[in-house]
Structure 1
Amino acid sequence: MTALTLIRHNAHQIDVDGHAMMMHVPSSSLFELDGVGRDVYDLFNRFDSVDSEVMRTELGARHSPDSLAECISSFIDLDILREPGIVEAPRVIAKVDEIPLSTIVLNVNTGCNLSCTYCYKEDLTTPSKGVKMSFETAKASFEMLLKQAKNRDQVNLVFFGGEPLSNYPLIREMVPYAEARAAQEGKKIDFSLTTNGTLLTEPMVDWLNEHRFGLTVSMDGPKAMHDANRITVGGNGTYDVVAHKVRMLLSRYTARAVGVRVTLTRGVTDVLGIHHHLKNELGFAEVGFGPATSGPIASFNLDNDALKQVFSDMKTLGRRYVDAACRGENIGFSNMHQLLTDIAQGTKKVVPCGAGLGLLAVDKDGDLHLCHRFVGSDQPTYGNVGRGIDVPKLAAFIEGAQDRSSFGCKTCRIRSICAGGCYHESYAKQGDPFAPVYHYCDLLRDWVDFGIESYVRIMKNNPSFFRNHIEPRSAKV
C-alpha cells in the first residue's frame, strides 16, 4: 500500500468500559472498533504516516494481511485515512432555493408582567406599554406558514412573548382558525407555548388541555433561587404565585407532559437541587437547563469557572439519569434527552438549528426574524407576512452559516452536532451570529463525549430505554 496519514479531525475514539467506540465526525456515526480496527487506529495515531512496511512490521504478527487491508479500505472510504498531501475538498454549500417552514413563532405581546433580571428580549416592556399582535397579523403569519409548508404533513404554531398569556384573547381566536385551516389543507397541527405561569387559571388550563398544547413553564427552582431573578415589575419575588399555579396546572393537565425550563445565572447554579425540587417536589415531567452567558447585564452571566461547575454538575445529574435508564426509569432531564437523541440518531448538522429554514418568528408588526430570540434586536429581518419571505436575503444568510471554517470549526470533532452553536448566543456574546460560541467549545466537546459514554452504557444494559423514552419524545418535538 502507499503511505497514508490519519485525518485526525474526521475520527474520534472514546473508550467506554472496555469498548473502543469511534465517532465518524463528518457523519456523526458511532461504531465499535474490533481488534484490528483498534490496532490500526492506534498505529496511525503513533506515526505521521504509515506505509506497507511499517504496517507489516508493527501489526503483521497480530493480524492477517486480508483483515488489515479490509480495515484500511474502510478507513479510506470514511476519509479517516488519506494519502499525504491531498488537499481536503472545500465544504459543499447547499444552495437554498426555498424556505420549507414547519414552524411559526408568534410574538403576541411585547409586554410582560415580570421583570426577570437576565431577560434577553430587546423589545420587552411593561404590561401597560406592551404592544399586542393583532389577529390579522397572526392569521397572515399562519397563511404564510401553510404556503411554505406545502410539502409537510404537520405544522407547528408557537405562542411567545413577553408573556404570551397576556394576549390570551388572540390565542383563543387563533387556535380554532388554525385548526380549521390546517384541516382544509390536510395537515396536522401542533400548538406550543412557554409561560411564566403567573396568569394561569383553571378554565385556561382546561382549554389548553382540550387543544393539546405543548406547555413549558419558565421557573428557576426553589423559592430563594427563583425569587433571586424572576421578579415582578415592582421587584417582588414570584415563587409563591408560580408554585401555586404550577400545582394547579399539573393536577389538571392531562394532554401532554409539562416541562420546565431553568435559566442558570450567577448564584443560581445548584443543578442537582433545582432538578430535585422541580421534578420530585413540584412534579414536572422534564427539567431543562440553560446557562446564561450573554445576557444584557453582565453581573448575572456565568463566568468561565461557574460555567465549568455547571457542566460538571450536569454530568453528575447525567450519571444519575444513566443509572435510572439502565433500570428502565426516566428521571426527566431534558438536556440528556436531547444529547442522547443527537447521538442515537447520528445527528448531522450543516447549520446549528432550524432558524431561518424550518422556523421563523413574527413580531407585532409582521416582520420576520430568524427566531424568537432575535425579535427586537438590531439584526436584519427577512421579509414580512404581508409581502412574504425575502428568500434571496434569507438564503444568503443560511448559505453563509454553512461554512464556519474560518473560525476553526473545520477541524472540531463535534462540528456535525454543534455546527457552530446558537446564532443568537453568538450575536449577543460576540456581535456576530456566525461566530462560534467559543466560551462553550471545550465544555460542549466534553459534554458530547459524556453523551457517547452514556449512550453506550444504556445500550449495553437496557437498549429498550431508547424505544420507550427517547424515540417517543423525539417524535413530539
Structure 2
Amino acid sequence: MSTLQLARNNVRDLTVGDRRMLFHVPTSGLFELDAVSGRLIDLFAELGQVGEDDIRRAFDGVADPALVVETLRELITLRVIDDGVPGPAKAPISIKEFPLSTVVLNVNTGCNLSCTYCYKEDLTTPAKGERMGFDTAARSVDLLLQEAAARDSVNVVFFGGEPLTNLPLIRQVVEYAEQRGRETGKRIDFSLTTNAVLLTEEIVDWLDAHRFGITISMDGPKPLHDRNRKTVSGKGSYDLVSAKARMLLARYRSRPIGARVTLTAGVTDVQAIHDHLKHDLGFFEVGFSPVTSGGMTAFNLNGDELAQVFANMKALGQRYVDAAKRGENIGFSNMHQLMTDLSEGTTKSLPCGAGLGMLAVDKEGDLHLCHRFTGSSQPTYGNVEDGIAKDSLGAFLEGMANRTGTDCETCWIRKLCAGGCYHESYARYADPAHPTYHYCDLMRDWIDFGIRAYADITVANPRFIERHVAPRRGNS
C-alpha cells in the first residue's frame, strides 16, 4: 500500500452532541462516523502521511482488519483519503443549454419611495420612470416558454423600481401568460417584491386570485424602517407600509407572505427586527440582506458591524434550531434556505441561477444576468426579439464554473458558495467574476453553524425536515 493522506479540502470534521460527523464537501453530504472511520480520520489528521504499518499499529487488537480495510476503501472512493492515484481528468464544464425557469421583468424604473441605500442604477422618480411595454413583456414570456420546453412550470417575476406603478402592464402580462400556459401545458407562477405603498384591497384580492408570491420590503420597527425607506418627499414610510402590510396579511390566502430586510451601517439587531416583522406584523418569513458593497459607502456595514450581523444571525439561527426540535418553524428564511441546501445535497459550480435558470429583462428587451444588473454598465446577453446570445452568455458562465487561480479552489464551502454573488462582486470590485473575499470567513462560519444545526435537527426531530424543509421548493 502506498502512502496515504487526508484530503483536507474535501472534508469537514465536526462533533454534534455525542455524535461524530463528517461533512463531505464534494457532495454536500453529512455522514455519521463510526468508531473505525473516526479513528482513521484521527490517524490521518495526526500523522499527515500514513502507511500500512501506521494503520496496523493503530488498529491491531482494536478492530476487525477486514472492517478497517473496507472502511479505508470507502474513504478513498469518497476522496476523503487521497491514495495518490489521480482520479479521472475533470472535463471543463461546458454550457450550451439555458433551461430558463424564471424571467424577471423590470416593468418600471420609477419608484414611489426614495430609499437612501437603493442599489438600482436605473432607478428614478415616478414621473421619470421608464415603463416596459406589453410587446416586450409578451416576448419575454414567449422566450421563457421556448427555453423552458422541458419544464412543467415557470415563474414570471415583476420588478422595478416599484412594480405596482405599472400595474396595468402586470395585469396584461398575467392574462397573456396564463393563456400561453394553457396552450403549452405549463403552470406559470407569478412573483413580485413591493414596498406595499400602492396596495389596495382590490389589488390584493386580484394578486390572491392569481396566486402571486409576494415579498414586502421592510426594515423592521418604525425607527429603523424610517431611517432609510423614505418617500420621494423625504418622509418616513413605516406608518403607511405597516398599515398596508397588515391589510395584505389579513386578506391574502393563496401563499405565505415574506418580508425582506436590508441591513445597513449601524443596523445589526437581527433578532429584534425578525421579532417585530414576524410576531408584531405577522409575516410568515423574514430574510436579511446585509449591505457591504453599495455605491454609497456611508450605508455599507463595516467589518465589525458585519461580524455582529452574522453573530446575531447565528443567535436567531439557534432559536430556529430550538423551535425545530419542537416541530415549529420560526420563519427565518436565511436559515431555512441553508437547511434546504443541506437537505437537498446542493453542490454548486455557479453561485446562483443568474444567466442560466434566470434572466432579467429591461424595458428595451435586453437580457441581463439578473435584475440587479439592469441599468448597469455590464454586458447584456441578447434580447427578447432575437433570443439569448448563447455564445457570449455561455462563455461567461463557463468562465465562472471553471475559474482557477482563486482561493475558492481549496475552500471547504466551495460547493455551497461557488464564489458568491456576481452583483456583490461587481459593486465592490467592479468585476462580477471576482470572488467575494470580504465575506469568506463569515460565510464559512455561518455554513459551519448551519451544518451543525442541520445535524442537530435531524437527530432530534427528523420530521421537521420532512414537513418544513423538504417541501420548500415545491410550495414556494
Same fold (TM > 0.5) = yes
Deviations 1:440-472 (A, max 9, x none): 111111111111111111111111111211122
Match of 2:21 in 1: 21
1:409 to 1:134, Cα distance in 2 relative to 1, 3 A = same
Q: CA deviation at 1:115?
A: 1.1
Provide the C-alpha distance between the structure 1 equivalents of 2:24 and 2:460, rounded to a whole number of angstroms: 24
Match of 1:253 in 2: 252
- SS of 1:365's equivalent in the other structure is coil
Provide the C-alpha distance between the structure 2 equivalents of 1:73 and 1:96, rounded to a whole number of angstroms: 34
Q: CA deviation at 1:474?
A: 2.1
The residue type paired with residue 117 of structure 1 is T
Q: CA deviation at 1:239?
A: 0.2
Match of 2:342 in 1: 343
The answer to whether residue 122 in structure 2 is matched with residue 127 in structure 1 is: no
The answer to whether residue 20 in structure 2 is matched with residue 4 in structure 1 is: no
Deviations 1:198-222 (A, max 9, x none): 1101100000000000000000000
Q: CA deviation at 1:91?
A: 4.6
The residue type paired with residue 61 of structure 1 is G
Match of 1:40 in 2: 40
The answer to whether residue 414 in structure 2 is matched with residue 415 in structure 1 is: yes
Provide the C-alpha distance between the structure 2 equivalents of 1:90 and 1:278, rounded to a whole number of angstroms: 50
- SS of 2:471's equivalent in the other structure is helix
Match of 2:207 in 1: 208
Within-5 A mapping of 1:60-209: 60-84=60-84, 91-209=90-208
Deviations 1:352-401 (A, max 9, x none): 11111110000010000000011111110000001111000000011011
The residue type paired with residue 218 of structure 1 is S
Q: What TM-score do you get using the length of structure 1 for normalisation? A: 0.98
Provide the C-alpha distance between the structure 2 equivalents of 1:168 and 1:91, rounded to a whole number of angstroms: 49
- SS of 1:405's equivalent in the other structure is coil
The answer to whether residue 298 in structure 2 is matched with residue 302 in structure 1 is: no
Provide the C-alpha distance between the structure 2 equivalents of 1:433 and 1:93, rounded to a whole number of angstroms: 20
Q: CA deviation at 1:436?
A: 1.1
- SS of 2:470's equivalent in the other structure is helix
- Number of aligned residue pairs: 476
- Is the contact made by 1:91 and 1:403 (CA closer than 8 Å) also made in structure 2? no
1:426 to 1:87, Cα distance in 2 relative to 1, 3 A = farther
Q: CA deviation at 1:89?
A: 6.5
Match of 2:56 in 1: 56
| Cα RMSD after superposing both structures | 1.1
- SS of 2:23's equivalent in the other structure is strand
Deviations 1:61-90 (A, max 9, x none): 322211111111011101111234x56766
Provide the C-alpha distance between the structure 1 equivalents of 2:454 and 2:97, rounded to a whole number of angstroms: 36
1:413 to 1:174, Cα distance in 2 relative to 1, 3 A = same
- Is the contact made by 1:103 and 1:360 (CA closer than 8 Å) also made in structure 2? yes
- Is the contact made by 1:5 and 1:81 (CA closer than 8 Å) also made in structure 2? yes
Provide the C-alpha distance between the structure 2 equivalents of 1:474 and 1:61, rounded to a whole number of angstroms: 50
The residue type paired with residue 48 of structure 1 is G
- Is the contact made by 1:116 and 1:229 (CA closer than 8 Å) also made in structure 2? yes
Unpaired segments of 5 or more residues in structure 1?
A: none
Q: CA deviation at 1:165?
A: 0.3
Provide the C-alpha distance between the structure 2 equivalents of 1:20 and 1:422, rounded to a whole number of angstroms: 33
Provide the C-alpha distance between the structure 2 equivalents of 1:61 and 1:267, rounded to a whole number of angstroms: 60
- Is the contact made by 1:278 and 1:287 (CA closer than 8 Å) also made in structure 2? yes
1:122 to 1:412, Cα distance in 2 relative to 1, 3 A = same
Provide the C-alpha distance between the structure 2 equivalents of 1:236 and 1:358, rounded to a whole number of angstroms: 39
The residue type paired with residue 110 of structure 1 is T
Q: CA deviation at 1:259?
A: 0.2
Deviations 1:328-367 (A, max 9, x none): 1111100111010111111011101111111000001000
- SS of 2:233's equivalent in the other structure is coil
- Is the contact made by 2:367 and 2:384 (CA closer than 8 Å) also made in structure 1? yes
1:67 to 1:336, Cα distance in 2 relative to 1, 3 A = same
Provide the C-alpha distance between the structure 2 equivalents of 1:349 and 1:330, rounded to a whole number of angstroms: 26
Provide the C-alpha distance between the structure 1 equivalents of 2:180 and 2:434, rounded to a whole number of angstroms: 40
Unpaired segments of 5 or more residues in structure 2?
A: none
Identity %: 58
Provide the C-alpha distance between the structure 2 equivalents of 1:69 and 1:429, rounded to a whole number of angstroms: 50
Within-5 A mapping of 1:217-236: 217-236=216-235
The residue type paired with residue 293 of structure 1 is T
Match of 1:449 in 2: 448
